[in-house]
Amino acid sequence: MDPNVDLEDLGSQQLPDGQTLPIPPVILAELGNEPGKPTVCFYGHLDVQPATQADGWLTDPYTLTEVDGKLYGRGATDNKGPVLAWINAMSAFRALEEDLPVNIKVIIEGMEEAGSVALEELVKREKDRFFSSVDYIVISDNLWLSQRRPALIYGTRGNSYFTVEVTCRDQDFHSGTFGGILHEPMADLVALLGSLTDSAGHILIPGIYDDVAPLTEEEKELYGAIDLDLEEYRNSSRVKKFLFNTKEEILMHLWRYPSLSIHGIEGAFDEPGTKTVIPGRVIGKFSIRLVPHMNTSVVEKQVQQHLQYIFSQRNSSNQMDVSMVLGLHPWIADIKDHQYLAAKRAIKTVFGTEPDMIRDGSTIPIAKIFQDIIQKSVLMLPLGAVDDGEHSQNEKINRWNYIEGSKLFAAFFLEVAQLHE
């Protein structure tokens, strides 16, 4: 049996500078279409974050290199390693001349790191065609919480990304000529960004916590059961101190409470040396990680109202503009779903242990898209260890994780098939 493979054209994308570029095609593939067998759809992506060896990589980031049982390379864990592990699992049944216990469908994109441009439209278009027979959807684009204990992920945070622009004019000023007689855009912007959180990380935007789902006793018990050595986690993160002192508090603030991060300032002088310049226009960039049941449109209004109020208090003659440039909702699954129970049994078979039931503080838009449009069970089944360094220098996946992960996918096929016997 040979797979059917199609390349779906997604058209082109216009960049902010007016340039138009073609969007990489999405791969839609299927293997098997036997009635009576469940159909499992795997999502993955092949695009990666930028990387150069000059950034601090010990090896060429685009040449897979093994060192002490670790496979280093950009995309090794995010997400090419898991994609290949899924292919390995399918290939194993063919190599053993055994019948594949499930029908397989695969969707692989090349724009995940850029927000999965045009993917939602494709899923809507293919809902009653390619996805019509899908029973279960599997995503493996996350990491475990530890180095040796596997995990299942049942939730991710959303993301609202904002820019706040303060403009005096479209040219910079000399600080000796104009310093002391202007409302300086940078001073306004620093005050605006400084008003967003307090020193404990608490978001100061009025109403921002109003729609956060209440903490239940059942959920609280999940955090206590998770295997996390705080000292090891702190040391591996190379930070002196976290904002919270207990495992439960740290996990809840990573997963089930919103957070606000300031990412940078465009238009500011940031090169080595001295330059006595007053920027005429600056753009601050920050984002809020959203949790159930926060809504992007509500958050957008809350942020705009807060920044407009803070700016009005400064009596500045500058112009301020706030924009939400990205709005992605959080996702959460039912851990009692049959697919999650099948995955737990597969993990027990391969690793001999129960998985940590965890959430992910980052955002994977496709999970919510699949859940809302296709309305089928979505499972996150990660393979990588907590120290894999996705998006960072020296990204890797352990050889052990890669091999055992391939076995895990094969065991998962068998467990899913048993659900339908």
The answer, as to whether pTM is greater than 0.85, is yes
pLDDT surpasses 90 at 131:
yes
Read off the tokens for 130: 């390619």
Q: Report the C-alpha gap between 58 and 70 in whole angstroms.
A: 13
Q: Could you report the per-residue pLDDT of 374-398, keeping only the tens digit for each? A: 999 999 999 999 899 999 999 999 9
Q: Which long-range contacts (CB under 8 A, 24 or more apart) does 349-354 make?
A: 349/411, 349/415, 350/404, 350/407, 350/408, 350/411, 351/149, 351/150, 351/404, 351/408, 353/149, 353/150
Q: In the 8-state DSSP scheme, what is residue 56? A: T
47 is catalytic: yes
pLDDT tens, 15-72?
Answer: 878 899 999 999 999 999 999 999 999 999 999 999 999 999 999 999 999 999 999 9
Range list for CATH 3.40.630.10 in the chain: 4-157+330-419
Rg of the chain over CA atoms, in angstroms? 24
Q: Which amino acid is at 363?
A: T
Fold of 4-157+330-419: Aminopeptidase (3.40.630)
Q: Is the pLDDT of residue 114 over 90?
A: no
- Among 47, 60, 113, 219, the active-site one is 47
The region, left, alpha or beta by phi > 0 then psi within -120 to 50, assigned to residue 147 is alpha
**Which ranges in the chain are annotated with CATH 3.30.70.360?**
158-212+257-328
CA distance 347 to 151: 9
Q: What is the DSSP letter of 195?
A: T
CA distances from 100 to 8, 39, 91, 238 (A): 26, 11, 9, 45
Q: Which residue of the set 30, 78, 109, 112 is catalytic?
A: 112
Overall size of the chain counted in residues: 421
Q: Alpha-carbon distance 373 to 22, whole Å?
A: 25
Confidence of residue 365 (pLDDT cuts 50, 70, 90): confident
Q: What is the mean pLDDT of the chain?
A: 95
Q: Are 306 and 193 in contact (CB under 8 A)?
A: no
Rounded CA-CA distance 128/181 in Å is 64
Task: Read off the pLDDT band of 3 (50, 70, 90).
Answer: confident
- Cα–Cα distance measured from residue 183 to residue 186, given in angstroms and rounded to the nearest whole number: 9
Shortest CA distance to 219 belongs to which of 179, 252, 182? 252
Q: Which CATH architecture has domain 158-212+257-328?
A: 2-Layer Sandwich (3.30)
**Rounded mean pLDDT, 304-318:** 98
Name the nearest CA neighbour of 278 among 286, 287, 267, 288: 267
